[in-house]
């Protein structure tokens, strides 16, 4: 009896204590809810509206859409595979249709485990609504307060929205990794198809990813992703979404991933440069959230042709150097093409493999251009000294004293000297001593001024050797500066954007073509004529050997230690610069043989690219300015050679020891300027 009374008393105590504590908890909870409520984030109405952001689209000048940035358009549930929806519900929240924001049993279990087993964390206690609340409004820090607030917002979402609206918002904002947010994007990224076309196998794979997008990224950890998929399939079976037969069948499948998947990167050196410029001009918000439409200057066909040519050329270079496929480091390359008539950048390739190295060598890599700088020197000499292609100078060892420094003694590439040489031949064969004699006469400043007028923006050292390309420049600058020669001395600033429109099609920027005459057209033509000779019979003749027959002019460039090899050249309609070399100082050379010059690999890349890029254009030569007349000059003396009548075929001809030279009105052969 005494025990019974004790038990009753104890029970009474417990009852009233529980009652008191319950009432107290209720009061406390109400106070917490009231005080937390005002700081909770506002829930947008409708829920999906805020997920929408207009997409920025970039188009090529040829009309193709190159990339879409930042746009999010929610896909309706009717356009999502039911298998995916069932898989998500099974693995994330099988009670979704029943609860009102919280799964009480799972939450109590999670709470019990968290309180009783230190360090152990229960997975999957959050409902889809709670996850949605967390993803939309809260950080990912793990605190009880955050969890509580998340729960309150989940209650509000459940009260304000239908289950379909919640599910719709959830599947459109959830992250699947690899830059894919939302089911439609994920389906495109991983399987190259729309969300409505996902199969059961694919759906189950995708549904498993949100738990840990990095760890289950199927591109990196396919087997892990498949293991996770097995969990999803088992849950679907438990929840009754699939039969046992279906379970067995789907377990046997291994979904094929989309091979041309794009991660968060653009995959294009040109687009990286363009987006950088847009951000500089309009800011990150406009570029990623403004829904602008940009028409770029790039020509998709030329870009593709450039990529192929560079790829083939660098493979050829690897073979020449005896590099194995897995050798590291490997030589890099860059190609940049500009339309000389406008300055529009038509192709930009900044390296051999974007996904291996995003560093854009076409615009960022500053390297010595070597003899590629000589056209600026010849222009300066022609302008300042009234020289022409038939002016004779002596190719012999030269020493130029430099005040405050050691004497400059440039040597020819071949280490041999040929005596009297016409300037046209000197450029054709890239004779260094002649270039040194010219810069001695003009002074380095005249060369620098010409290069700057043409569009070189890098700092150029005021030293004699600047004429032999010892100051560093980028392929972008070289292409831009040579474009000025190609357009007869009219400079167009290079640009990448034709037009920018807002989401409603209103123009916010358009590029005007403003040419500025910076070089004398007649002297420019004289230099271009010599550069044509470089391709026809000089250091760039590989181009003709490769079957490129169109009128073209250019110049090779190779640095002393064979670290850099260039070819920059142009037709009247397109100018391109090609650079090859290692990112860090290293020689480009064939084993036990001389190094690789600009006339070898870069010229072949240039020829392959130009062949493809100009194949549909009508044949066109460089236009000859009015003041230009042509004379035949003797190769030894530089004096005029008269035509002689050939008795056999009754036609006039000139000696084969002569060369045709364009001259200005006031110039004659054998004149001493």
Partner 1 sequence: MTGNWYEPTKFSEWLRRIVSFANILMLFIASILLISELRVNWCELMIGRYLASLNDYRPETGAIWQAGEQSSRANTFLKNIIQERQNAARYAKEATSFAELASGVLPGQWSNIDKAHFKRLYLALPSQAASELIPQAELIWLFSGGSVTRLFCEGKPYGLEIFFLNAENRALRQITLNKAKMEKIEKNDDIFKGSLEQIPEFQGRIYPAEQFFKALLELPQDIISDLITTPHKLIEQGGILTKAGIWNEATSGYIKLGFEFKDSGKNTVIFIRAREWAVWRLSSNLTNGQNQQSKGD
Q: Provide the binding-site residues for partner 1, judged by CB under 8 A.
A: 1, 4-5, 8, 33, 37-45, 50-51, 53-54, 99-102, 104, 135-139, 152-153, 155-160, 173, 282-286, 288-292, 342, 502-503, 506-508, 510-515
Between the CA of residue 279 and those of 20, 58, 275, 313, what are the distances in Å?
A: 62, 13, 6, 33
- Rounded to a whole number of angstroms, the minimum distance from the CB of residue 216 to partner 1 is 22
Which secondary structure element, helix H or strand E, spans residue 66, and what is its range? strand 65-69
CB 568 within 8 A of CB 279: no
When the beta carbons of 68 and 655 are compared against partner 1, the nearer one is 68
When the beta carbons of 501 and 520 are compared against partner 1, the nearer one is 501
67: how many CB neighbours lie within 10 A of its CB? Answer: 18
- Rounded to a whole number of angstroms, the minimum distance from the CB of residue 8 to partner 1 is 6
Quick one: which of 298, 296, 341, 362 has its CA closest to 491? Answer: 341
Burial class (CB in 10 A: 0-12, 13-18, 19+), 651: exposed
The structure tokens 């405050």 sit at 404
When the beta carbons of 172 and 371 are compared against partner 1, the nearer one is 172
Q: Is the dihedral of CA 183, 185, 191, 193 positive or negative?
A: positive
When the beta carbons of 63 and 401 are compared against partner 1, the nearer one is 63
Contacts of range 72-76, beta carbons closer than 8 Å, 24 or more positions apart: 72/172, 72/181, 72/182, 73/184, 74/48, 74/168, 74/169, 74/172, 74/182, 75/171, 75/172, 75/182, 75/183, 75/184, 75/195, 76/168
Alpha helices in 138-192 (DSSP H): 144-160, 163-173, 183-191
When the beta carbons of 45 and 414 are compared against partner 1, the nearer one is 45
When the beta carbons of 38 and 120 are compared against partner 1, the nearer one is 38
- Rounded to a whole number of angstroms, the minimum distance from the CB of residue 36 to partner 1 is 10
When the beta carbons of 249 and 507 are compared against partner 1, the nearer one is 507
- Rounded to a whole number of angstroms, the minimum distance from the CB of residue 35 to partner 1 is 12
- Rounded to a whole number of angstroms, the minimum distance from the CB of residue 172 to partner 1 is 12
- Rounded to a whole number of angstroms, the minimum distance from the CB of residue 234 to partner 1 is 28
Q: Is the dihedral of CA 449, 451, 454, 458 positive or negative?
A: negative
- Rounded to a whole number of angstroms, the minimum distance from the CB of residue 121 to partner 1 is 23
When the beta carbons of 200 and 486 are compared against partner 1, the nearer one is 486
CB 574 within 8 A of CB 340: yes
- Rounded to a whole number of angstroms, the minimum distance from the CB of residue 327 to partner 1 is 45
When the beta carbons of 501 and 536 are compared against partner 1, the nearer one is 501
Cα gap 209→217, rounded to integer Å: 7
- Rounded to a whole number of angstroms, the minimum distance from the CB of residue 436 to partner 1 is 41
Quick one: which of 320, 370, 381, 328 has its CA closest to 352? Answer: 328
Q: What is the SS3 string spanning 593-635?
A: CCECCCCCHHHHHHHHHHHHHCCCCCCCCCCCCCCCEEEEEEC
- Rounded to a whole number of angstroms, the minimum distance from the CB of residue 506 to partner 1 is 5
- Rounded to a whole number of angstroms, the minimum distance from the CB of residue 660 to partner 1 is 33
Tally of residues, the chain: 673
CA 245 to chain centre: 48
When the beta carbons of 513 and 645 are compared against partner 1, the nearer one is 513
When the beta carbons of 144 and 326 are compared against partner 1, the nearer one is 144
When the beta carbons of 474 and 484 are compared against partner 1, the nearer one is 484
Quick one: which of 654, 599, 603 has its CA closest to 630? Answer: 654
Strand-strand pairing, 516-517 and 490-491:
antiparallel
- Rounded to a whole number of angstroms, the minimum distance from the CB of residue 42 to partner 1 is 4
């Amino acid at each position: 009896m005494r025990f019974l009374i004790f038990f009753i008393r104890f029970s009474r105590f417990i009852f009233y204590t529980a009652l008191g504590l319950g009432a107290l908890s209720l009061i406390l909870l109400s106070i917490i809810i009231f005080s937390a409520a005002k700081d909770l984030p506002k829930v947008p109405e409708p829920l999906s509206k805020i997920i929408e952001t207009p997409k920025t689209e970039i188009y090529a000048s040829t009309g193709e859409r190159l990339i879409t940035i930042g746009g999010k358009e929610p896909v309706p549930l009717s356009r999502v595979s039911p298998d995916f929806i069932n898989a998500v519900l099974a693995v994330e929240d099988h009670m979704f249709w029943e609860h009102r924001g919280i799964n009480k049993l799972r939450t109590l279990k999670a709470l019990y485990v968290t309180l009783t087993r230190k360090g152990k964390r229960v997975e999957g206690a959050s409902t889809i609504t709670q996850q949605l609340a967390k993803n939309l409004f809260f950080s990912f820090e793990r605190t009880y307060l955050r969890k509580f607030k998340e729960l309150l917002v989940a209650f509000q979402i459940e009260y304000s929205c239908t289950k379909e609206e919640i599910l719709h918002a959830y599947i459109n904002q959830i992250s699947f990794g690899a830059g894919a947010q939302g089911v439609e994007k994920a389906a495109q990224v991983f399987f190259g198809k729309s969300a409505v076309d996902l199969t059961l196998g694919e759906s189950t794979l995708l549904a498993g990813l949100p738990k840990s997008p990095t760890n289950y990224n199927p591109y990196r950890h396919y087997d892990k992703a498949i293991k996770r998929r097995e969990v999803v399939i088992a849950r679907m079976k438990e929840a009754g979404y699939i039969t046992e037969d279906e379970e067995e069948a789907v377990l046997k499948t291994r979904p094929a991933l989309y091979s041309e998947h794009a991660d968060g990167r653009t995959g294009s050196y040109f687009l990286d440069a363009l987006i950088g410029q847009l951000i500089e001009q309009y800011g990150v918000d406009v570029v990623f959230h403004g829904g602008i439409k940009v028409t770029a200057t790039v020509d998709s066909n030329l870009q593709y042709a450039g990529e192929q040519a560079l790829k083939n050329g660098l493979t050829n270079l690897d073979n020449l150097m005896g590099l194995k496929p897995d050798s590291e480091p490997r030589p890099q390359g860059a190609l940049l093409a500009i339309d000389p008539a406008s300055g529009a950048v038509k192709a930009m390739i900044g390296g051999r493999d974007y996904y291996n190295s995003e560093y854009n060598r076409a615009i960022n890599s500053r390297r010595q251009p070597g003899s590629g700088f000589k056209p600026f020197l010849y222009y300066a000499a022609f302008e300042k000294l009234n020289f022409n292609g038939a002016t004779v100078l002596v190719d012999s060892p030269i020493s130029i004293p430099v005040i405050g420094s050691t004497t400059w003694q440039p040597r020819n590439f071949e280490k041999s000297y040929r005596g009297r040489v016409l300037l046209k031949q000197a450029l054709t064969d890239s004779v260094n001593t002649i270039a040194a004699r010219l810069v001695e006469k003009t002074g380095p400043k005249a060369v620098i001024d010409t290069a700057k007028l043409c569009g070189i923006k890098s700092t150029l050292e005021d030293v004699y050797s600047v004429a032999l390309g010892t100051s560093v420049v980028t392929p972008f600058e070289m292409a831009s500066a040579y474009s000025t020669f190609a357009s007869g001395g009219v400079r167009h600033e290079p640009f990448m954007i034709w037009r920018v429109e807002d989401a409603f099609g209103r123009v916010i920027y358009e590029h005007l073509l403003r040419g500025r005459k910076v070089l004398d057209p007649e002297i420019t033509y004289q230099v271009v004529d010599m550069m044509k000779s470089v391709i026809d019979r000089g250091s760039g003749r590989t181009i003709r050997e490769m079957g490129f027959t169109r009128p073209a002019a250019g110049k090779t460039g190779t640095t002393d230690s064979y670290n850099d090899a260039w070819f920059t050249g142009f037709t009247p309609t397109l100018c391109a610069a090609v650079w090859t070399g290692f990112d860090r100082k290293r020689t480009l050379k064939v084993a036990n043989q001389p190094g690789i010059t600009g006339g070898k690999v870069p010229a072949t890349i240039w020829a392959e690219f130009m062949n493809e890029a100009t194949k549909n254009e009508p044949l066109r030569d460089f236009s000859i300015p009015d003041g230009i007349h042509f004379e035949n000059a003797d190769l030894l003396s530089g004096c005029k050679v008269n035509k002689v009548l050939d008795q056999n075929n009754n036609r006039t001809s000139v000696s084969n020891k002569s060369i045709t030279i364009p001259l200005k009105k006031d110039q004659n052969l054998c004149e001493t300027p």
